[in-house]
Each structure stands twice: as structure tokens, then as C-alpha cells.
Amino acid sequence: MNPLLNRRQFLSNTGQGLGGIALASLLGREGALAKEDPIRPKIDPTKPFAPRDGHFPAKAKKVLVIFCSGACSQLDTFDYKPELIKRHGQPMPGAEGLKTFQGDQGNLTKSPWKFKPRGQSGKMVSELVPQLGELADEMCFIHSLTGKTNTHGPGENFMSTGYTLDGFPSMGAWVTWALGSANDELPAYVAIPDPRGTPQSSINNWGPGFLPAAFQGTDFNASKPLRNLTRPAGVSAKSDLATRSFLQRLNERHLEKFPGDTELAARISSYQLAARMQLSVPEVTDLSTEKASTLKAYGADDATNPIKAGFAKNCILARRLLEKGVRFVQLFNGAYQTGGEGVSNWDGHKVLHQQYAKHGPVLDQPAAALLRDLKQRGLLKDTLVVWCTEFGRMPTFQKGASGRDHNPEGFTAWLAGAGVKRGHTYGATDAFGWKAEKDVATVYDFHATILHLLGLNHKRLTYYHNGFERRLTDVHGHVIEDILA
């Protein structure tokens, strides 16, 4: 009998281990070990949103995230698969007996929409999103993203926060905690829900988690103004101003008694911002000052499609916020609604063709107009645009249905604007679009790259919480260097 570990081996391994610990300790004291200590942002509690420098020079100053809630199919938009077309109606090789989120899978199914080459890059993009396709030369596609869950709520959490569980800070919260904002009249971080409602994971997508509450996203859209902002009926403007001025004097006197109380200073600062927002938010959400040609370009005047017009107005609002210097804008396309399939989001399980045919135009013209408008106004020079969804969809149709099931094994996102290559494609899924197989990237890598473009080292942007140095990318993530301009 040969034991796995005899007495001599045990003593030898123990001695080597102790020696290694002693050497590491000695090297640490001598400063010879490479280490990446946290870099805490220096925040003035009286001005928590004042602009701050990152860890190194940034390519991007602001971020716009266009989040397609419901898991937009990569195979019907941006990930062209000739083999899927060729083998339409056949079983998928290597997937015999495959069961995914909603059960058994049927045969391979090509997209109902044709793909064609776009721009000088020749990027193949679906006719479902023709206007976005015209802008393919502005985009940097990542076709090899992988996730950790095939469920919508945890998937949204993972894309927005880096964790599948609730209670962790969102991307926007991390960014505004680190960098503040260039506008002290508006929130540093604004989340714009779809006109029909919130995504499935709701406020987790823009929550602060364990970061200070000041850095959570403020959610409002073009059709639903910020709650509790307007002056109560029966209170005159003069009386309202006098009351706020009196309250400010009381707060300042109170702060003088407790000069070291940073939480009190932060609360007073939040009250002051709320007062300023009574003027700034109505101004930025008032689209009546936009030219008729702008409303038409976005589709905001489309009386035949009120859902599209509502999203178009949200896109204009996003541009206006970025123009004002808001650091992080998160724009949602699609909402969670109970009661089965419809056109509320991209969750195309049962009738993908019927659902996407209605929902595709809601995204396409407004989002394309937004990207064009940002470029025309020179905002793409310092704004990073991120298009993403929580995971992808299967190249097969589900058995007994005419739609695609959830697929976190390989899906698409794209970036545009400051710091990324134009007309570039990174990574690839297999021949059918099922699994990422070339230059496989994780959501952690995606987040690390976004932070890098903002001048932030994802390994050093940490917050001490419950005994851990927490970060957006957990203990994972690498910058995707190949996509950087």
C-alpha cells in the first residue's frame, strides 16, 4: 500500500511551506513584493460630486450605457453565422439531449432577418437593426462575452454590478464614487428606465450597494419626472425659497457645532443638490426646446408608435444629460412586465419573430440617432458608449416554441466613442453562435476595460466592506487591450 502522503513527505512539505511564508514576509518588509494597494478617492463631504482625477490619464470622461433588458439575441442582430443558415432545421452537433433554461432544445434555426455588410469595415449586421448597422464603422464589437447565470434578474445584476446577488454597487456607483461629476446642478449618475417600466432586477441595476448612498443612480425619464421634485400645491415660489434658505442657515449652524461630522456634511450637501435640482431637472427634461428636425431624426414625433417615441425621448434626454456633464448615464431599452410574452423587452422565447419585429424598431432609430448626435456634437471624443444585455440566446429554437432560450455561454456587446477602436471586431463564438471560443471574455473583463478607459485601475478601485476589499470585478478581470485605440 502506497499512502498519498507519508510522514517524511509531510514533514518536508511543511518545512518548505513555512520557509515560503517566512521568505514572503521578509520580502514584504523589504518592499520587494509587487502589490496593488487600494487607491481611495479623496472626497470632500461638503462636495461629494466634485470632479476627481483617476489613477492615470483617461481616454473617456463620461459613460453612456444602453442596456437592452430581456437578453437581446446576438444571432438576430450583430453575430452573423453562415453555418447556422446552412444547417437551418438540423440538429445542433454536440447538443443531443441538451436542456437549457426552459427545457429541451429543438433544431438549429437561422435568423428571420438577413444580414448584409455595412460601411467600410464590411461588418455583417442584421436588417432588424438597419440604422444601427449603418454605424458599424463607429463600433467595436465583442462577440465572445460569457456570463455566470441564465436567469434574467441575476443576469442583470451581473452585468450592472459584477455579482449575481443583490446588494452590490452598480457600475455607475463605482465610477461616480471614484470620479465625481462635472456638473453640480444635476446628479452625477442618472438611470433612465424604459417608458414602460423598470428592468427585472429594478433598482439593483443602479443601486449603491455598500458604497455611500449618495452615489446611487437617480432614476427618471422623459415621461416620468423625478419624484417629489415639484413644489407642493399651495406653497408659493417665494415661500419655498425662504423656507429652503432658512433650512440652509440652520444646517450650517449645526455643522459648525460638529465640524468633523462627515455624514452630517454629506446629508447637507444632498439637501442642497436636491434644491438645485428643482430648477435643473425640469430644464434638462423639457424637450420642447429641441428642433423639430431633431425630434424627427430620433423618432420622438412618431405618433404611430408611442413606445418608440417614448424611448426616443429618453435617448434625447440621455444626450442632454451628457452635454451637461453628467458622469454616468444608464439608458434602458425594455422593461419587465408580468403576464407573458409581448413587446416589453427582448425575452424572445415563444414568438421571437413577432416580438422582435415590433421591438427592433423601438431600439434601432432612436439609438442610432443618439450615436449620430453624440458624434455630430463632438461628444464621442470624451464619451464612451456601451451597448449590452444580460446574456445571449440559443442558436436553436425551444421544442414546442418559435423562440430562443437563454444563453450565457457566448453573447455580444459593443463599445463606441472615446478610447476604443472603430469598426473593429474582437472574439468569436462557435460556428452556430452557441459558445464563445475565440478570445473568450468575461463580464469582469468587460468591466475592467470600461474602468480602464475612465483612467481607473480595476484592481485598485476597492472599498473595504465586511472584512473584504471589494471591487467591481471581484477577484477577476483583465483589460481587453486589443480593443483599445
Distance CA 157, CA 162 (A): 7
Note whether 448 and 96 are within 8 A (CB): no
Note whether 314 and 195 are within 8 A (CB): yes
Q: Which residues pair with 442 in a beta bridge?
A: 146
What pLDDT is stored for residue 35 in this prediction?
57
Which range has the top average pLDDT, 96-105, 135-144, 209-218? 135-144
Q: Can you read off the three cell numbers belonging to residue 271?
A: 439637501
The answer, yes or no, to whether residue 329 has pLDDT greater than 70, is yes
Nearest to 73 by CA among 109, 99, 106: 109
Mean pLDDT value across the chain: 89
Distance CA 270, CA 264 (A): 10
pLDDT digits (tens, 9 = 90+) for 420-443: 999 999 999 999 999 999 999 999
The answer, yes or no, to whether residue 274 has pLDDT greater than 90, is no
Which of the two residues, 162 and 182, has the higher pLDDT score? 162
Q: Can you read off the three cell numbers belonging to residue 31?
A: 518592499
pTM comes to 0.88
The answer, yes or no, to whether residue 1 has pLDDT greater than 50, is no
Mean pLDDT on 302-330: 97
Please name the residues in contact with 472: beta carbons below 8 A apart, sequence gap of 6 or more. 161, 162, 169, 171, 174, 447, 451, 458, 461
Which of the two residues, 102 and 116, has the higher pLDDT score? 116
Task: Please give the backbone phi and psi of residue 171, each rounded to the nearest 5 degrees, phi first.
Answer: -55, -45
Nearest to 213 by CA among 192, 187, 194, 193: 187
Q: What is the DSSP letter of 224?
A: S
Which of the two residues, 445 and 227, has the higher pLDDT score? 445
pLDDT digits (tens, 9 = 90+) for 276-298: 777 788 889 999 999 999 999 99
Task: Give, for 145, the enclosing helix (H) or strand (E).
Answer: strand 139-146
Distance CA 64, CA 191 (A): 10
The answer, yes or no, to whether residue 269 has pLDDT greater than 70, is no
Distance CA 106, CA 364 (A): 29
Q: Which residue has the cell 468569436?
A: 428
Mean pLDDT on 470-481: 97
CB atoms within 10 A of CB 9: 11
Which of the two residues, 214 and 254, has the higher pLDDT score? 214
What pLDDT is stored for residue 195 in this prediction?
93
Mean pLDDT on 174-193: 94
Which of 252-256, 330-334, 401-405 shows the lowest per-residue confidence on average (mean pLDDT)? 252-256
Q: In the structure, what pLDDT confidence band is assigned to residue 2 with cuts at 50, 70 and 90?
A: very low
CB atoms within 10 A of CB 252: 10
Mean pLDDT on 384-393: 98
What pLDDT is stored for residue 227 in this prediction?
65
Q: Which residue has the cell 442596456?
A: 67
Mean pLDDT on 25-32: 48
Tell me how far apart the 2 most distant CA atoms of the chain are, in Å.
93
Which of the two residues, 341 and 481, has the higher pLDDT score? 481
Q: Sort 375 into a burial class: Cβ within 10 Å, 0-12 / 13-18 / 19+.
A: middle
pLDDT digits (tens, 9 = 90+) for 199-246: 999 999 999 999 998 899 999 999 877 666 666 777 777 776 676 676
Which of the two residues, 138 and 241, has the higher pLDDT score? 138
What pLDDT is stored for residue 25 in this prediction?
52
Which of the two residues, 31 and 444, has the higher pLDDT score? 444
The answer, yes or no, to whether residue 12 has pLDDT greater than 60, is no
Which of the two residues, 37 and 79, has the higher pLDDT score? 79
What pLDDT is stored for residue 264 in this prediction?
63
